[in-house]
Amino acid sequence: FGLQASPRDTSKIWELMDSYQGSDKLALQQSIVHHVEYTLARTRFDFSKFHSYQALSHSVRDRLIEAFNDTNLHFHQMDAKRIYYLSLEFLIGRCLQNALVNLDLEDDYREALLELGYKLEELYDEEVDPALGNGGLGRLAACFLDSLATLNYPSFGYGIRYTYGIFKQLIKDGYQVESPDFWLNQGNPWEIERLDVQYQIRFYGFVKKVWDHGVERSVWEGGETIMARAYDTPIPGYNTQNTIALRLWKSHPASEFDFSSFNTGDYFKALEQRQKAEYITSVLYPNDSTDAGKELRLKQQYLLVSASMQDIVRRFKRRKVLDWNAFPSKVAVQLNDTHPALAIVELLRILIDIEQLDNMSAWQIVTKSFNYTNHTVLPEALEKWGVPLIEKLLPRHLEIIYLINFLFLEKVQQKYPNNWGKLSALSIVEEEGTKKVRMANLSIVGSKFVNGVAKIHTELLKTTIFKEFFEMHPNKFQNKTNGVTPRRWVRCANPALAALYDRVLGSDKWVQDMELLKQLEPNVSDPQFVRDFQMIKMENKERFVHWIRKTCQVDLNIDSLFDIQVKRIHEYKRQLMNILYVIYRYLVIKESSPEERKRIVPRSVCFGGKAAPGYVNAKRVIKLINSVADVINNDHQIGDLLKVVFMPNYNVSNAQIIIPAAELSQHISTAGTEASGTSNMKFIMNGCLILGTLDGANVEIDEAVGRENIFIFGTQVEDVDNMKEKMRNTDPHEYFPQELLKVFQEIDNGRFGHNQELKWIIDSIRHKNDNYLVGQDFKDYIKAQQQVDDLYRQPNEWAKKSIYNAIRSFKFSSDRTIQEYAEEIWQLKPIKVPEPAAQMHER
Amino acid sequence: FGLQASPRDTSKIWELMDSYQGSDKLALQQSIVHHVEYTLARTRFDFSKFHSYQALSHSVRDRLIEAFNDTNLHFHQMDAKRIYYLSLEFLIGRCLQNALVNLDLEDDYREALLELGYKLEELYDEEVDPALGNGGLGRLAACFLDSLATLNYPSFGYGIRYTYGIFKQLIKDGYQVESPDFWLNQGNPWEIERLDVQYQIRFYGFVKKVWDHGVERSVWEGGETIMARAYDTPIPGYNTQNTIALRLWKSHPASEFDFSSFNTGDYFKALEQRQKAEYITSVLYPNDSTDAGKELRLKQQYLLVSASMQDIVRRFKRRKVLDWNAFPSKVAVQLNDTHPALAIVELLRILIDIEQLDNMSAWQIVTKSFNYTNHTVLPEALEKWGVPLIEKLLPRHLEIIYLINFLFLEKVQQKYPNNWGKLSALSIVEEEGTKKVRMANLSIVGSKFVNGVAKIHTELLKTTIFKEFFEMHPNKFQNKTNGVTPRRWVRCANPALAALYDRVLGSDKWVQDMELLKQLEPNVSDPQFVRDFQMIKMENKERFVHWIRKTCQVDLNIDSLFDIQVKRIHEYKRQLMNILYVIYRYLVIKESSPEERKRIVPRSVCFGGKAAPGYVNAKRVIKLINSVADVINNDHQIGDLLKVVFMPNYNVSNAQIIIPAAELSQHISTAGTEASGTSNMKFIMNGCLILGTLDGANVEIDEAVGRENIFIFGTQVEDVDNMKEKMRNTDPHEYFPQELLKVFQEIDNGRFGHNQELKWIIDSIRHKNDNYLVGQDFKDYIKAQQQVDDLYRQPNEWAKKSIYNAIRSFKFSSDRTIQEYAEEIWQLKPIKVPEPAAQMHER
Say yes or no: A182 contacts chain B, CB-CB below 8 A: yes
Interface contact B29-A16, CB threshold 8 A:
yes
Task: Kindly list the residues from chain A whose CB atom is less than 8 angstroms away from the CB atom of residue B170.
Answer: 257
Give the integer Cα–Cα distance in Å for B72 and B156: 10
**Domain assignment present for A35:** no
Q: Tell me the C-alpha to C-alpha distance, in Å, between residue B268 and each of A245, A272, A300.
A: 31, 20, 16
Question: In the predicted model, is pLDDT for residue B734 greater than 70?
Answer: yes
Q: Which amino acid is at A696?
A: G
Question: In this structure, is residue A502 part of a structural domain?
Answer: yes
Interface contact flag, B49 A7, Cβ < 8 Å: yes
Domain-ending residue, one of A479, A494, A516? A479
Same-domain check for residues B506 and B436: no
Tell me the pLDDT tens digit for each residue of B116-162: 889 999 999 999 999 899 999 999 999 999 999 999 999 999 999 99
Q: Which residue in the set B37, B115, B262 is minimally distant from A69, CB to CB? A: B37
Is residue B755 a part of any domain in this protein? Answer: yes
Asked, for residue A615, whether it belongs to a domain, the answer is: yes
Give residue A673's domain range: 486-626+633-716+774-812
Rg (CA), chain A: 28
Among the listed residues B422, B462, B480, B567, the single catalytic one is B567
Q: Is the domain of B730 the same as that of B800?
A: yes
Question: Is residue B372, in this structure, part of any structural domain at all?
Answer: yes
**Residues B423 and B502 both lie in one domain:** no
CB contact under 8 A, B177 and A41: no
Question: Environment class of residue B668 by beta-carbon count within 10 Å: exposed (0-12), middle (13-18) or buried (19+)?
Answer: buried
Distance separating alpha carbons of residues B781 and B712, to the nearest angstrom: 9
Determine, for residues A255 and B185 on separate chains, whether the beta-carbon distance falls below 8 Å. yes
Question: Do B283 and A293 make contact, defined as CB atoms within 8 angstroms?
Answer: no
- Of the residues A449, A479, A509, the one at which a domain ends: A479
Check if B261 contacts A (Cβ < 8 Å): no
- Do B501 and B469 sit in the same domain of this protein? no
Nearest residue on chain B to A71, judged by CA atoms? B43
Let me know whether B656 and B673 are in one domain: yes
How far is Cα B182 from Cα B814, in angstroms, rounded to an integer? 30
State the DSSP H helix or E strand holding residue B406, giving kind and residue range, or none if neither. helix B395-415
B373 backbone φψ class: left, alpha, beta (φ>0; ψ -120 to 50): beta
Candidates A25, A244, A267, partner chain B, best to mutate (most B CBs within 10 A): A267
CA distances from B334 to B136, B149, B383, B692, B711 (A): 17, 16, 17, 30, 35
- Distance, in Å, from the CA atom of B769 to the CA atom of B463, rounded to the nearest integer, reads 25
Is the domain of B735 the same as that of B714? yes
State how far the Cα of B154 lies from the Cα of A358, in Å rounded to an integer: 69
Phi/psi of residue B93, each to 5°? 75, -175
pLDDT tens per residue across span B453-507: 999 999 999 999 999 999 999 999 999 999 999 999 999 999 999 999 999 999 9
Task: Compare all CA atoms of chain B with the CA of A34 and give the residue at the minimum distance.
Answer: B17
Which of B491, B573, B619, B667 is catalytic? The answer is B573
Contacts of A162 in chain B (CB under 8 A): none
A784 touches chain B (CB under 8 A): no
- Determine, yes or no, domain membership for B648: yes
CA distance B377 to chain A (A): 28
* A1 in contact with B, Cβ within 8 Å: no
Concerning whether B678 is annotated as a catalytic residue, the answer is yes
Length of chain B (residues):
843
What does the pLDDT look like over A421-454, one tens digit per residue? Answer: 999 999 999 998 999 999 999 999 999 999 999 9
What confidence score (pLDDT) does residue A268 get?
Answer: 79
Question: In which element (H, E) is residue A459 found?
Answer: helix A455-463
pLDDT score for B292: 62
Q: How far is CA A680 from CA A483, A668, A676, A696, in A?
A: 10, 10, 9, 10
Average pLDDT taken over every residue of chain B: 94
Listed as ranges, residues in chain A with pLDDT below 70 are 1-10, 44-47, 257-265, 287-292, 838-843
CB under 8 Å to A718, separation ≥6 — which residues?
none
In a domain, A731, yes or no: no
Q: Does B114 touch chain A if contact means CB atoms closer than 8 Å?
A: no
Question: Residue B445: is its pLDDT beyond 60?
Answer: yes
Pick the residue from chain A with its C-alpha nearest to B55.
A13
Please write down the HEC assignment for all residues of B26-54: HHHHHHHHHHHHHHCCCCCCCCCHHHHHH
Q: Which residue in the set A29, A62, A267 is minimally distant from B613, CB to CB? A: A267
- State the alpha helices, DSSP H only, in B600-690: 616-633, 652-661, 679-685
Q: Are residues A378 and A494 in the same domain?
A: no
Return d(Cα A256, Cα B650) in angstroms, integer.
18
pLDDT surpassing 50 at residue B6: no
> Which one, of B665, B687, B662, lies nearest residue B560 by Cα?
B662
Rounded to a whole number of angstroms, the distance between the first and last alpha carbons of chain A is 34
Query: What is the spatial distance between Cα A588 and Cα B98, in angstroms, rounded to a whole number?
Result: 80
Residue B290, pLDDT score: 55
| CATH code, B276 | 3.40.50.2000
Assess contact for B382 and B440: CB atoms under 8 A.
yes
B600 in the same domain as B464: no
Length of chain A equals 843
**Phi/psi at A511 (nearest 5 deg)?**
-65, -30
B167 contacts on A by Cβ (under 8 Å): 267
- On the CB side of B283, CA atoms within 13 Å amount to 25
- With b for 16 or more beta-carbon neighbours within 10 A and e for fewer, the B549-564 pattern comes to eeebebebbeebbbbb
Chain A: nearest CA to B533, how far in angstroms? 37
A66 falls within a domain: no
Q: What are phi and psi of A672, to 5 degrees?
A: 90, 5
Domain match, B681 and B579 both: yes
- Is the four-CA dihedral B39, B41, B43, B45 of positive or negative sign? negative
Q: Are residues A431 and A490 in the same domain?
A: no
Residues A443 and A576 in one domain: no
Q: Which residue of B has its CA nearest to A183?
A: B255
Backbone angles phi, psi at A86, to 5 degrees: -95, 125
Is residue B25 part of the annotated active site? The answer reads no
pLDDT exceeds 90 at position B286? no
Three-class HEC string of A535-586: HHHHHHHHHHHHHHHHHHCCCCCCCCEEEEEECCCCHHHCHHHHHHHHHHHH
Half-sphere exposure of B417 toward its Cβ, with a 13 Å CA cutoff? Answer: 0
Q: Which of A745, A748, A746, A737 is nearest to A770 (CA)?
A: A737
**Is B822:B815 a contact under the CB 8 Å cutoff?**
no
Could you give phi then psi for residue A556, rounded to 5 degrees? -95, 150
Q: Tell me the catalytic residues of A.
A: 375, 567-568, 573, 678, 682
The minimum CA-CA distance between A418 and chain B, rounded to whole Å, is: 47
Q: State how far residue B392 is from chain A, nearest Cα, in angstroms.
A: 24
Task: Give the residue from chain A lying closest to B46, CA to CA.
Answer: A5
Choose the closest CB to A68 out of B41, B61, B271: B41
Q: How many domains in chain A?
A: 2
Of the partner residues B7, B13, B168, the one whose CB lies closest to the CB of residue A33: B13
Angle (nearest 5°) at CA B119 between B116 and B123: 105
Minimum Cα–Cα distance from A233: chain B residue:
B41
A54 in contact with B at a CB cutoff of 8 Å?
yes
Please calculate the CA angle A177-A183-A188 and round it to the nearest 5 degrees.
170
Is the domain of A430 the same as that of A518? no
